[in-house]
Amino acid sequence: MAGSAAMPTSVARPLKAFTTLQPRPTRRTRCAPERPTALNFSAKPHLRFSKGASAPVSSDGICTQKSQLLSGTGSLKDTTQAREDLLTKSDEHFAELGLAFEWSLAPNLDELNDLFQRVGFPRRDKAKFAEALSNTHCTVWVRATRKSRMAREGQLLAFARATSDKALTATIWDVAVTPGWQRIGLGRALVERLLEALTSQGIPTITLYAEPGVVGMYEKMGFVCDPQGVKGLAFQQKRGR
Amino acid sequence: MHDHVVPASQRMAYYSSESLDEVVLRKFTQSDGTVYNVVFRKGGPVDLDDLEQLCAKVGWPPRPSAKVRIALANSFMVGTLTLEAPDPGSPAAPPPRLVGLARATSDGVFNATLWDVAVDPDLQNLGLGKALVETMVRALLRLDITNVTLFADAHTISFYSALGFQPDPQGIKGMFWFVQGRAVDGGGAEEGWGRCTPEQTCCGPGLDQKG
């Protein structure tokens, strides 16, 4: 490696710690961060588009394992109470409106693209979309349970997803509600259900990027802009590169 | 001690390689003539103890190591900076030292978010943080992941702006969710860990204060 004739004056601090070479411990935890398989905390199979691995009973007594609920070791009342904390409108409320939340059923990508187009998001290449969803930790969408003036039976009416490292952070993306079904709380309902799933897994940092028009909606749900001055940034590619 | 920046002509050879898995970013020569490289690696193994020490050195509160292991395993891309001998395989070579880290979560197609960007304070102000972030961004862009985002502490915003990141682009705001009065089980009873506190996972504190 050729050195240049004019070397910069040293600005580096002396590498004190490095030069005192301590013997390394022979046993250490190694982490190979290649693309992982899902880590299951329970014996349940990991479904695509599912809520993710089930959390065991948490320290505040909230049990999310159905088998434990049935056996009575978890507290059904506590679980219901916890759900009520986060969900402003229940599944039953939406069921009466002919709406159901789908977690494990894959959304129809043509319908999803139609929805995106209607709300002003770019349409996506279907193969890329499928790959993105398969790499998404939680996906939830709203299905019309009956035919109406505003929907075909089974039609996808709203959507949201969250990526995550499954332990420390999660980011919510692509929250969309079809125009005819807006203003009844579906966007909020989707995000609340994602929050419920993520918090039940103990993920402490949950973020999203909000367009100016919906910042107020997310603030009402408990999201905060620029906490302690921490800002969201996005890489801007230069044109013509 | 002299610091050689690896000449751009030689770095370009690495940047144009298919996978950007390993790039020598810097060479240091100690006064006794020993040479060390700072090497960027993508997808290499990360020693959790070394990472914990690095995070402590940059002033971050400790995190449950089980969670860190899971988070690394489920990150789309993990980049490390190691300080090592030019021939790390040789028996006489001192062991590599972890001096930098950045990781990205992603859906692999559309969006990515950088987290935990840290450079050992002993080696800050040498352009290593810049090289680390640039290399990660370049690797993501090569995969056609065009929306690369991050959350930055206030005092690091100018650092990231200089690298091409824009705060609140088109008025879009990054937001954090804070639990309303009920503790989230964060896997430990550590003070503050169960709640959403951005300084624990942001790209900010691991970089030099001067940006």
CATH number for A102:
3.40.630.30
| CB contacts, 8 Å: A232 with chain B | 149-151, 167-168, 172-175
Quick one: which H or E segment has residue B104? strand B97-106
Q: Do A8 and B106 touch (CB under 8 A)?
A: no
pLDDT tens for A98-144 read 999 999 999 999 999 999 999 999 999 999 999 999 999 999 999 99
Lowest pLDDT segment from A27-41, B4-18, B98-112: A27-41
pLDDT tens for B64-75 read 999 999 999 999
Interface of A with B in 130-159 (CB under 8 A): 131-133, 135-136
Q: What is the rounded distance in angstroms from the CA atom of residue B65 to the CA atom of residue B45?
A: 15
> Is A8 domain-assigned?
no
Q: Domain check: are B210 and B169 in the same one?
A: yes
What does residue B61 show for φ and ψ, rounded to 5 degrees? -65, 150
Q: Domain check: are B156 and B194 in the same one?
A: yes
The pTM (predicted TM-score) of the whole model is 0.74
Of B145, B162, B190, the domain-final residue: B145
Q: Do B151 and A1 touch (CB under 8 A)?
A: no
A218 is an active site residue: yes
Domain with B65 in it: 1-145
Q: Domain check: are B127 and B38 in the same one?
A: yes
C-alpha neighbours within 13 Å on the C-beta side of residue A124: 20
Q: What confidence score (pLDDT) does residue A238 get?
A: 73
Q: What confidence score (pLDDT) does residue B207 get?
A: 52
For residues B100-125, average pLDDT: 96
For residues A176-184, average pLDDT: 96
Q: Which of A30, A124, A136 sits opposite B47 (nearest CB)?
A: A30
End-to-end CA distance of chain A: 30
Interface of A with B in 92-131 (CB under 8 A): 124, 128-129, 131
> What would you measure as the largest C-alpha separation in chain A, in angstroms?
79
Q: Domain check: are B154 and B171 in the same one?
A: yes
Q: What confidence score (pLDDT) does residue B29 get?
A: 86
Best of B103, B173, B190 to substitute, by most chain A Cβ atoms within 10 angstroms, is B173
Nearest CA in chain A to B165: A235
DSSP one-letter string for B112-150: EEEEEEEE-GGGTTSSHHHHHHHHHHHHHHHTT--EEEE
- Overall domain count for chain B: 2
What does residue A92 show for φ and ψ, rounded to 5 degrees? -65, -40
Q: Do B107 and A195 touch (CB under 8 A)?
A: no
Residue B17 has pLDDT above 50, yes or no: no
| CB contacts, 8 Å: B47 with chain A | 28-31
Q: Which of A28, A204, A219 sits opposite B184 (nearest CB)?
A: A204
pLDDT tens for A203-241 read 999 999 999 999 999 999 999 999 999 999 999 987 544
Q: Domain check: are B27 and B99 in the same one?
A: yes
- Overall domain count for chain A: 1
Nearest CA in chain A to B177: A223
Give the ipTM of the model, two decimals please. 0.80
Q: What confidence score (pLDDT) does residue B39 get?
A: 93
Q: What percent of chain B has pLDDT over 90?
A: 61
Domain with A187 in it: 81-222
pLDDT tens for B143-202 read 999 999 999 999 999 999 999 999 999 999 999 998 654 434 443 333 333 334 444 444
